[in-house]
Amino acid sequence: SSEVLEAIENVVQGVFQSLAQKKAPVLTLANRTDWRNIEFKDSVGLQMIPGSTTKRIRSDCPQSARRFALMLKILSMIYKMVQSNTYATKRDIYYSDTLLFGSQSAVDQIINDISCMLKIPRRSLHVLSTTKGFVAGNLCYTEEDGTKVNCTCSATAVTVPSNVQGIKNLTSHAKFILIVEKDATFQRLLDDDFFSKVSPCIMITGRGVPDLNTRLLVRKLWDSFQIPIFTLMDADPHGVEIMCVYKYGSVSMSFEAHHLTVPSVKWLGLLPSDLERLNIRKDALIPFTKQDENKLASILKRPYIASQPLWKKELEIMAASKLKAEIQALTSLSSDFLSRVYLPNKLQFGGWL
């Protein structure tokens, strides 16, 4: 915490020095949304390069003065929280003054900018994000406040903890981890008791694009157990992109790649080649939109796809057919095809990439 306080004091000192010299204060941070500042490394994923291009948030420029003020406001809130060892969610910060902040997304962006500027992970700033992910299966752990959580015995899933760094005493007999893209598929597998029928496993869903806590938990489980991690996504560009976020990280959070990415993640399904192999009916497939075509074209250009020739082949099948499929398309074969046939066969015969 002393490191965090010192980093904030240095920023404020810089502001004072500028004012003393009758100059307009400026905050400088790495430009975290620019692909030119990102390098791809097999063992880490997308990470920010040292000496990357910066952006300046000026206090004397109409376009950025408001952002400058909001950054100082949130820095002061963080400073107080670190000093008093209290925590707040991003929502708490937004609701402390909704008129001032204007929107939740403005607060989220500023907190990420501050984390990037100070080069300090967000959870060390005492800012927690509200969690949307769920976990179920063969896993027990103790939360920071001493609460014991058992994910095995419940028919309902457990919410991913909001302070993943604080959980300890993780125990599991799971043979693998299954990341499920969508909540509906996750609930279906839960109802079918999938995580205990095939072999003990841990199931996680970020319910779409994963939030930070879900990604941190996947990483923590990998560090703790070193067991295979498989993904079950829709066979569409959006699903592929979500899988890449778990495996390689995202451009906007590349400054935190070392804590967030799990490059060992495998693509289990739904593979574009599965659709033909399983003879999925054409009326269960969905034609591409222009947006899908653009997203797929941009994914194919990304640096990590070159290192994954088998993935590239699948994406080319998708691009050629211009058709996508949700995991639910498997129900056109039978209602429990996913948990009774598809997943057990894939896991038994190594049908992943």
**Mean pLDDT, rounded, for 293-300:** 91
143 and 111 share one domain = no
**Mean pLDDT, rounded, for 52-79:** 87
- CATH number, domain of 169, equals 3.40.1360.10
239 and 338 share one domain = yes
352, with CB counted inside 10 A (0-12, 13-18, 19+), is middle
**Mean pLDDT, rounded, for 64-88:** 90
Q: How confident is the model at residue 211 (pLDDT cuts 50, 70, 90)?
A: confident
Q: Coil, helix or strand for 229? A: strand
Identify the helix (H) or strand (E) that includes residue 232: strand 229-232
Task: Tell me which of 128, 163, 180 is where a domain ends.
Answer: 128
Condensed to tens digits (0 to 9), the pLDDT of residues 243-295 reads 999 998 887 777 777 778 888 899 998 999 998 888 888 888 899 999 999 99
Q: 215 lies in which domain range?
A: 134-349
Identify the pLDDT of residue 154.
60
107 and 216 share one domain = no
**Mean pLDDT, rounded, for 325-333:** 88
Lowest mean pLDDT among 1-10, 163-172, 247-256: 247-256
Nearest CA to 11 out of 92, 81, 83, 113 is that of 113
38 and 80 share one domain = yes
Look at 314 and 51; give whichever has higher pLDDT. Answer: 314
If one counts the domains in the chain, the total is: 2
The tokens of 331 are what? 């129900």
**% pLDDT > 90, the chain:** 34
Residue 255 near residue 48, CB atoms below 8 Å: yes
Q: Which of 43-57, 58-72, 221-235 shows the highest mean pLDDT? A: 221-235
Running DSSP on this structure, what letter comes out for residue 304? Answer: T
Condensed to tens digits (0 to 9), the pLDDT of residues 90-128 reads 889 999 888 889 899 899 889 988 888 888 887 788 888
124 and 138 share one domain = no
Whole-number Å distance between alpha carbons of 208 and 205: 8
Identify the pLDDT of residue 71.
92
75 and 138 share one domain = no
Identify the pLDDT of residue 326.
92
**CB-based burial, 81-99: b 16+ in 10 Å, e otherwise:** bbeeeebbebeebbeeeee
Look at 310 and 51; give whichever has higher pLDDT. Answer: 310
Q: 176-180 and 201-205 as β-strands: parallel, antiparallel, unpaired? A: parallel
Residues designated as active site: 95
54 and 74 share one domain = yes
Asked if the model's pLDDT at residue 135 lies above 80, the reply is yes
Asked if the model's pLDDT at residue 18 lies above 80, the reply is yes
Identify the pLDDT of residue 265.
92
The residue whose two tokens read 């829709």 is 234
Q: How confident is the model at residue 226 (pLDDT cuts 50, 70, 90)?
A: very high
CA dihedral 342, 346, 347, 350 (to 10 degrees): 180
The residue whose two tokens read 């598809």 is 342
